[in-house]
A = this chain, B = another copy of it.
Amino acid sequence: MVLDDRKVKILMAIIDDYIKNAEPVGSGTIVKRYDIGVSPATIRNEMANLEELGLLLQPHTSAGRVPSEKAYRLYVNELMKKKQVGKAPISNIQDILRAKIDNPDELIREIARIVSKNTLYAAIVTKPHSEKSTIKYIQLINIDENSVLLVLVINKDIVKNHIFKANIVITQEKLDQISKVLNKNFINHSLKDINIELIHRVGVELVDYRNILAPILDVIANTIKGIDKQDCYVAGMKNILDFPEFNDLEKARDMMKFLEESEGILKILNMYQSDSDKIMVRIGSENGFSQVDKCSIISVKYNINDSMYGTIAIIGPTRMDYLNTVTLLNGLIKQVNGL
């Protein structure tokens, strides 16, 4: 069924008003605030039609109307494109982010803070990770008599270090020899390739150094584990409390809990974001988790140096400023991907 022009106008008015004021919109309000050009009675008739189409909901008989999930979906897919964007784009943040590029933890934290500050929703940023990471370079450095620094470069430019005590005095030359063998065997191998067999082979080749080899292989193993583990940072949780839909303490608590325990969030983000590079909007029950079935999540994939991927997402009430938020993420993602 195609909506005629007037129905669209009225629906838009209701969505806009509800996004702004969080209160059911009545026929009188529409006439007063929006220029539709008909009387409240006519609006009421149209609203009844829109309700029949599943686009509006009535909290109770004597209240105004509220957009349904279906209405938001229509708005996001079609209607909002016709509107002008009001807010200014996000200012240049590349310099700020570039200063943190060596430390993914700080990087995602900064991104999350920027996003939450600019949207006034809660922002979630997952740590960049990669499924096909390969070892690029291994180097052992003797930093004093019995401390050895292991430097591990993954992909283009992820560096992991670990300092450990060698229980014997070992010269830089010997370390170079070990490095050489490790590089020969591990370079360009994906982290997943490094299995017992490969480690055994290295062990045989470096049999003379077996007492120092163990901690090295340990670190490599731990790094692999660490890189595969997904993690995320959440900023702007306080924004959630500003929305009237979370005035109920019980609901606020549930939401906080959900945001602090990253598992649920990560599941949702992984479920939907893995494939597409586009900005994804998931409205209410589309998220598939009861804890967030009154929330919408907007997310987008970012990548750092073509090798590591993560997700930037915001979460807020279904009554969300989709247009400005999508626009803002669009501007942001270009800056992040261009780092």
Residue numbers of A with Cβ under 8 A of B are: 99, 102-103, 105-106, 109, 136-137, 139, 141, 143-144, 147, 149, 151, 153, 156-157, 159-163, 222, 226, 235-238, 241-242, 247, 249, 252-253, 256-257, 259-260
Contacts and interface: CB of A to CB of B under 8 A. Distances in A.
Contact of A105 (B103, B161, B259): B103
A318 to B, nearest CB: 20
A251 B99 CA distance: 36
Contacts of A161: 102, 151, 159, 161
Contact of A241 (B103, B109, B143, B253): B253
Instruction: Give the 5 A-B residue pairs with the shortest CB-CB distance, closest first.
Output: A105-B105, A238-B256, A159-B161, A157-B163, A137-B143
8 contacts: A105-B109, A141-B151, A149-B151, A159-B163, A236-B260, A237-B237, A237-B256, A249-B252
Contacts of A139: 141
Nearest to A113: B260
A222 B98 CA distance: 11
A241 B147 CA distance: 47
Classify the interface of chain A: helix, strand, loop or mixed. mixed
Contact of A249 (B99, B151, B159, B249): B249
A49 B283 CA distance: 60
B157 A147 contact: yes
A331 B103 CA distance: 31
A93 to B, nearest CB: 17
Nearest to A100: B226
A149 B153 contact: yes
Contacts of A256: 237-238, 241
